[in-house]
Amino acid sequence: MGDVVTMQEDDRAGGREPASWSGAPPRTAGARTTNEEVRQQNLSAVLRLVHTAGAQSRSHIGAVTGLNRSTVTALVTELLELGLVREAEAAPTGRRGRPSLGVAADDAVVALGIRVEADAVSVALVGLGGAVHSRVRHDLSSPPSPRRFAQIASSLVDGMRADIDRHYRLVGAGLAVPGLVDEAGSVLVAPPLGWRREQVAPRLESAIGIPVTAGNDASIGAMAEARFGVGRDAANLLYLHGSLYGVGGGLIFDGTLLRGTSGFAGELGHTVLDPRGARCPCGRRGCLSAEVTPGPLLKLLGRRKLDEDELDIELGVARDPAITAELERQVDLLSLALTNFVNAFAPEVVVLSGYLGVLLAASRERLSDAVHIDPVGAEGRQVRLERARMRSRLMQLAPAEMAFAPLLLDPAGMAPGR
């Protein structure tokens, strides 16, 4: 990248890391990298590795990061002193290898993963390394106002506070919102909630007294799936989530979430598939969001609402030709969209979650054909099409990841006090 490095190449983590994440340190071409910056980057590389890939032996950390043995030992010692990792048994790496002593992320370092939806507010206590320690949920009969949401979230967090104070070290909170969120944590628009221009992160922050980072649920879902889910080995990943409220998504390229000039790239749900199709809330007709939606199927099934698992079962046993026809119509439109996306972005993995995961399970062959046969060139043949693995756990982890981001970037600077 044109960096001038003042230390030996061997001292800097450069190996291929097993997971993707956004928030890699900004690099300017030609910028001078100081020893202190190299140390910070290396600490960050080791902590991110044990955070996403679980307990690791020191030798495996060296193999993955490309750092030499004494550098790894020094970095691990520093992370132990900071209380960010602990000694743990590492999984055997070789075929005949025995478990060896290694280090794992210390899951007593925690973040709150908060999620607001039209019908619920939930809060999860998530440890470094991805363990969900506890989770509470408050069901709602109608979408909450921003003020009501802050009150509910605050009382849920209050219920956890004694436990947090006694057993954990909290770094912050992340909030997942079904809408467009800017970098200051303001919601520009969140159609499922009926919110428009709301300073939701500052509002929540003052209600709970904990720093809050907010983001779009589909974008941060893409990040979490890339770090912990089916996209773990892929540098380039396309994630699409479907629900009653439309299709959202995120693109991760070379480990970074694609934001575009507006910060909102990846709004693939508003790709027009049929200019004369169904009206979309965005004002156009025939968007992916408007055409590929559980609404018509729920109507045919005579149900108001079904979760992912229930819909899997209902569609599996449905024999009504009208249901089959609607299912095929939607799968064909989704195939068309996927063909376009694969041609445009050539991802290694396409992860379908929520309602789109249901369509994949119901019609895997039809959808696989679309990404494997239609694409131009040979790229398409290497695309994996996967259903999101983590389902509901993903949306507990994903917002907490935003809160962990500063710590993962600068472990020594951001480690919570003991």
Site stretch for Zn ion (CB under 5 A), options 18-26, 61-69, 281-289, 390-398: 281-289
Minimum CB distance to Zn ion, residue 366 (Å) = 24
Beta bridge partners of 214: 175
Site stretch for Zn ion (CB under 5 A), options 213-221, 267-275, 349-357, 369-377: 267-275
Minimum CB distance to Zn ion, residue 244 (Å) = 15
Minimum CB distance to Zn ion, residue 284 (Å) = 5
The answer to the question of residue 280 lying near Zn ion (CB under 5 A) is yes
Minimum CB distance to Zn ion, residue 388 (Å) = 22
Minimum CB distance to Zn ion, residue 280 (Å) = 3
Q: Are 128 and 84 in contact (CB under 8 A)?
A: yes
- What CA–CA distances, in Å, run from 331 to 293, 334, 383? 10, 5, 18
Q: Are 350 and 372 in contact (CB under 8 A)?
A: no
Contacts of Zn ion in 91-110 (CB under 5 A): none
Question: What is the full DSSP assignment across 223-272?
Answer: HHHHHHSTTTT-SSEEEEEEETTEEEEEEEETTEE--TTTS----GGG-B
Minimum CB distance to Zn ion, residue 272 (Å) = 8
Long-range contacts of 161-169 (CB under 8 A, 24+ apart): 163/125, 163/134, 164/110, 164/125, 167/108, 168/108, 168/109, 168/110, 168/125, 168/127, 168/133, 169/83, 169/108, 169/109, 169/110, 169/416, 169/417, 169/418
Looking at residue 398, its amino acid is: A
Site stretch for Zn ion (CB under 5 A), options 97-105, 189-197, 287-295, 343-351: 287-295
- Give the CB-side neighbour count of residue 67, counting CA atoms within 13 A: 28
The answer to the question of residue 282 lying near Zn ion (CB under 5 A) is yes
269 versus 357: smaller Cβ distance to Zn ion: 269
Site stretch for Zn ion (CB under 5 A), options 26-34, 55-63, 280-288, 377-385: 280-288
60 versus 241: smaller Cβ distance to Zn ion: 241
Maximum distance among all alpha carbons in the chain? 69
63 versus 278: smaller Cβ distance to Zn ion: 278
Determine the distance from the C-alpha atom of residue 59 to the mean position of all C-alpha atoms in its chain, rounded to a whole number: 29
Dihedral, CA atoms, 36, 40, 46, 52, nearest 10 degrees? -170
Angle between helices 35-53 and 69-81 (to 10 degrees): 80
Q: Are 129 and 50 in contact (CB under 8 A)?
A: yes
CA distance 229 to 19: 9
330 versus 396: smaller Cβ distance to Zn ion: 330
Minimum CB distance to Zn ion, residue 325 (Å) = 24
Site stretch for Zn ion (CB under 5 A), options 109-117, 119-127, 265-273, 385-393: 265-273
The answer to the question of residue 287 lying near Zn ion (CB under 5 A) is yes
Minimum CB distance to Zn ion, residue 166 (Å) = 48
Total binding residues for Zn ion by CB under 5 A?
A: 5
Site stretch for Zn ion (CB under 5 A), options 26-34, 51-59, 223-231, 269-277: 269-277
344 versus 376: smaller Cβ distance to Zn ion: 344
Judged by CB under 5 A, the residue of 135, 232, 270, 384 near Zn ion is 270
52 versus 289: smaller Cβ distance to Zn ion: 289
Residues in contact with Zn ion by the rule CB under 5 A: 270, 280, 282, 284, 287
